[in-house]
A and B are shown apart, each in its own frame.
Chain A
Amino acid sequence: MVAARKSAVSRLNGNRQLQNSSPATVNPGVIPLHVPRHQQGYAQTTPVMSTPQAPPLWLWRLCILQRNSSILTFFLVGAALIVYGGTVYYQELWSHAYRKLQTLQRHERQLTTTNEVIKNQMALQAERPGTGLVPQNPAAAIFLRPTPDSSRKTSGESRSATNPLNLQIQQPNHTPLGY
């Protein structure tokens, strides 16, 4: 509150000073007589408008540097946060995946165990008389005679077909497919 009031007053006085100081600059030897004494101290501290001129180059560069570095800092902080978040997140993901892997390995183990135990039990049951199951026997098997190797024949023909010399010698087979 105090500061606000102060600055308000100083501004008021400043404006007055601007009006008053113009004759002084014109005639430096003349000191205005009618300035109240208690106002003299203020007159000296009143702010003065600087003349509009270009700031020095170094300041200009510093300003640019400051602005750019602020932007850079902003992005770097952002990136750091993202990277940090990423590490935490991926650790969490890894730990989740690891847990899943353990569960799956365990299921695989249990599945294999159960599967093999059941297989063994079934085989043991099958050995017991009265189950109606008999051991494999060639008498109960069906043997198929291998068909004459037609693929070799056709491949031979196709090979000969590519060779124009053999084409004349070999008789083409005119048996239609499917009959």
Chain B
Amino acid sequence: MQKSQGRTKIKSFAQASVKRQPQSPTAKPPKLFSPPKLETANNTRLFLVWAALMTAACGLAINLYHLQIVRAPTLQSKARQQQMVSMRPFVPRRPVVDRNNNVLAMERPVYVLFAHPKLFKKPAATIAEQLAPILDRQVDDLLKQFQRRKSGIQIAGGLPEQIADRIAPLRIDGLELIQQYSRFYPQQDLVADVVGYVNVDRRGQAGVEFSQEKILERSVQAVRLSRSGTGSLMPDHAPEGFLHFDDLRLELTIDIRLQRAARFALAQQIQKFRGKRGAVIVMDASNGALLALVSQPSYNPNEYYKADMSLFRNWAIADLYEPGSTFKPLNVAIALEAGAITPDTTFYDGGSIQVAGWPIRNAHNSSFGRMTITEILKHSSNVAMVQMMQRLKPNVYYGWLERMGLGQTMDTDLPFEAPSKVKSQEEFISSPIEPATAAFGQGLALTPLQLVELHAALANGGKLVTPHVVRGLVNTKGQLHWQPTRNTPRQIFSPSTAQTVVKMMEAVVTDGTGKASQIPGYRIAGKTGTSQKAGPRGGYLANAKITSFVGMIPAENPRYVVLAIVDEPQGQAFGSTVAAPIVKSVMESLISVEQIPPSHPEEVGKQKQDKEN
């Protein structure tokens, strides 16, 4: 109480701005209230306090020096180790979608579970019991694995996020989950021949995954982020644009609805005729975009390691075959274009013809007598075709074959494309049998895709378009960001020639070998083909043939080309019986998918009504 009183008094003095007079040198300290004995005690105490404080301050300074200068590097690195977390943000390989945004290939994280038994803090048996139901494994099995080594045992790989989420919260010491990326193909084997697969090293090995590797891949850079005490990430060291990666996806021209329909139709016919393999190709002739490309048998790219290696190359692109009669319309176009014939020219088919000592006959040994060009195609006469092409000089004919791109590749965006084969120019010109066999599509070999490309040239008015499956990179809103540059289509036939040939091909479907592909209400052009298979040692195999059918719809203004091809079908197998029904069924789906209006609306559904009646 006294003390506080004193303080207020001092305050009042200060407010009155009291000035102390300087003390005289003779002045002595007051002795009445502060005897010298007390002062000495005070000084000692003050000194002790000062000394203690100074010692403490010195101690602190020394410690500060030690921490900040002597041990700084070690401590800094230790702190960084605790605070910084090196992470790979999820920057996936670009997804692949079809033209309706159905995902064909996408990225997803998977986890590998490692066990380090030397770090276990619980008995191995307890851990095994906890893990067994999650991993769907036996407890004994896991225990055996734990005993194998002290550290670094891979328990399971390719675990999806859901399972990893169940293991992580168990917080078992000695278990480690390592994140990896894995490609997932939700459509399984449906588009494997187009999309391909990515191997364990994340390299595309087939299909678009291989050919468009540079576009699909995005580099993943490890980012070092600091972490707060609670373990949450902090942005202070995040690099620029860390979160902003584009959402572009690779869009294909494929339509999986059509792809599915084509596969279904093809699989049915292959099964029915016990064929070895088959393919269906649907192309938009106006630009070369492939709407469907099916090869059977196929593989599941999610489990590519289980599949037969030979399936990884799409045989519709990578294997050559002799097209047979499906090549005849192209020969007619060449003859028309070269001026060797007119649409009204007629030829006499006597059933067989001798060329350089080799007899050439029609299928079924039939003879048709005098026939027009349309009839030649309608009945697929070999003899008349040989006569027709004999009107062309072999070197002119060869020039035309080269102009159509035979002997070359098509520069398509699918990998492992095989260049088509024709005989050498000398051989073709010197030996008369070569142009004669080429007249009905034997003695030259091309890929099924190239045959479609050539027929597309007939359909689109003579332009040779590049078949392709890649539309470009689009964002999630569907805006196109990048488009591959392609060669400008080359005009090989005049539009009038192309139109004439298509009209002739229409007759093949209306009342020729292609009747099986008729769809009421629609005008369809087409050509069947049943060709012999070349053996590995030259010559042709006795009982092996390739049946095919190529169709165009709508015939009045052809836009789509559909090819079905079945290799080595058994039994009564011809282009008309095996391949034409496939094309019909694919075209029916195509009409629905592409909403093609009928040429004769009154006929639509007539067949159905007839059946019902």
Task: Say whether B19 contacts A48, CB under 8 Å.
Answer: yes
What 0/1 readout, one digit per residue, does chain A (79-104) give for beta carbons within 8 Å of chain B? Answer: 00000000000011011101101100
User: Which residues 1-26 of A have a CB within 8 angstroms of B?
Assistant: 1-9, 11
Q: A119-127, A147-155, A156-164, A167-175: which lies at the B interface?
A: A119-127
Query: A138 and B21 in contact (CB under 8 A), knowing A95-B234, A106-B161, A120-B190?
Result: no
State how many residues of chain B have any CB contact under 8 Å with chain A.
59
Query: Measured between C-beta atoms, what is the minimum distance from A5 to chain B in Å?
Result: 6
Contacts of A8 in B (CB 8 A): 6, 9
Question: Which residue of B is nearest A42, CB measured?
Answer: B30
Contacts of B23 in A (CB 8 A): 44-45
Q: Which of B16, B18, B90, B598 contacts A138 (CB 8 A)?
A: B598
Question: Which residue of B is nearest A52, CB measured?
Answer: B17
**Does A135 interact with chain B (Cβ within 8 Å)?**
yes
**Does B471 interact with chain A (Cβ within 8 Å)?**
no
Complex CA distance for A117 and B185, rounded to whole angstroms: 9
Query: A95 and B260 in contact (CB under 8 A), knowing A47-B13, A50-B17?
Result: no
Q: Which of A91, A113, A136, A137 contacts B236 (CB 8 A)?
A: A91
**Does B481 interact with chain A (Cβ within 8 Å)?**
no
What 0/1 readout, one digit per residue, does chain A (37-57) give for beta carbons within 8 Å of chain B? Answer: 000010011111110000000
Task: Say whether A139 contacts B608, CB under 8 Å.
Answer: yes
**Does A68 interact with chain B (Cβ within 8 Å)?**
no
Query: Measured between C-beta atoms, what is the minimum distance from B135 to chain A in Å?
Result: 20
Q: Which of B6, B108, B228, B593 contacts A3 (CB 8 A)?
A: B6
**Does A109 interact with chain B (Cβ within 8 Å)?**
yes
Query: Measured between C-beta atoms, what is the minimum distance from A139 to chain B in Å?
Result: 4
**Does A70 interact with chain B (Cβ within 8 Å)?**
no
Contacts of B243 in A (CB 8 A): 98, 101
Query: A139 and B520 in contact (CB under 8 A), knowing A7-B9, A44-B21?
Result: yes
Complex CA distance for A45 and B107, rounded to whole angstroms: 92
Complex CA distance for A109 and B6, rounded to whole angstroms: 78
Query: Measured between C-beta atoms, what is the minimum distance from A51 to chain B in Å?
Result: 10
Task: Say whether A139 contacts B232, CB under 8 Å.
Answer: no
Complex CA distance for A158 and B282, rounded to whole angstroms: 45
Query: Measured between C-beta atoms, what is the minimum distance from B174 to chain A in Å?
Result: 26
Q: Which of A47, A95, A116, A139 contacts B604 (CB 8 A)?
A: A139
Query: Measured between C-beta atoms, what is the minimum distance from B590 to chain A in Å?
Result: 9
Query: Measured between C-beta atoms, what is the minimum distance from A107 to chain B in Å?
Result: 11
Range class of the A interface residue count: 35 or more
**Does A141 interact with chain B (Cβ within 8 Å)?**
yes
Query: A41 and B27 in contact (CB under 8 A), knowing A47-B20, A116-B102, A138-B588?
Result: yes
Complex CA distance for A116 and B105, rounded to whole angstroms: 10
Task: Say whether A141 contacts B592, CB under 8 Å.
Answer: yes
Complex CA distance for A47 and B21, rounded to whole angstroms: 6
Question: Which residue of B is nearest A136, CB measured?
Answer: B592
What 0/1 readout, one digit per residue, does chain B (178-216) give for beta carbons within 8 Å of chain A? Answer: 000000101110100000000000000000000000000
What 0/1 readout, one digit per residue, does chain B (586-613) give for beta carbons within 8 Å of chain A? Answer: 0011011100011001001101100000
What 0/1 readout, one digit per residue, does chain B (94-128) give for beta carbons within 8 Å of chain A? Answer: 00000000110010100000000000000000000
**Does B5 interact with chain A (Cβ within 8 Å)?**
yes
Task: Say whether B521 contacts A138, CB under 8 Å.
Answer: yes
**Does A110 interact with chain B (Cβ within 8 Å)?**
yes
Task: Say whether B161 contacts A110, CB under 8 Å.
Answer: yes
Could you name 11 residue pairs across A and B whose Cβ atoms are closer than 8 Å?
A4-B9, A11-B13, A47-B20, A49-B19, A91-B235, A95-B235, A102-B90, A105-B90, A106-B161, A116-B103, A143-B604
Q: Hey, which bits of chain A sit against chain B, CB under 8 A?
A: 1-9, 11, 41, 44-50, 91-92, 94-96, 98-99, 101-102, 105-106, 109-110, 112-113, 116-117, 119-120, 123, 127, 135-141, 143, 145
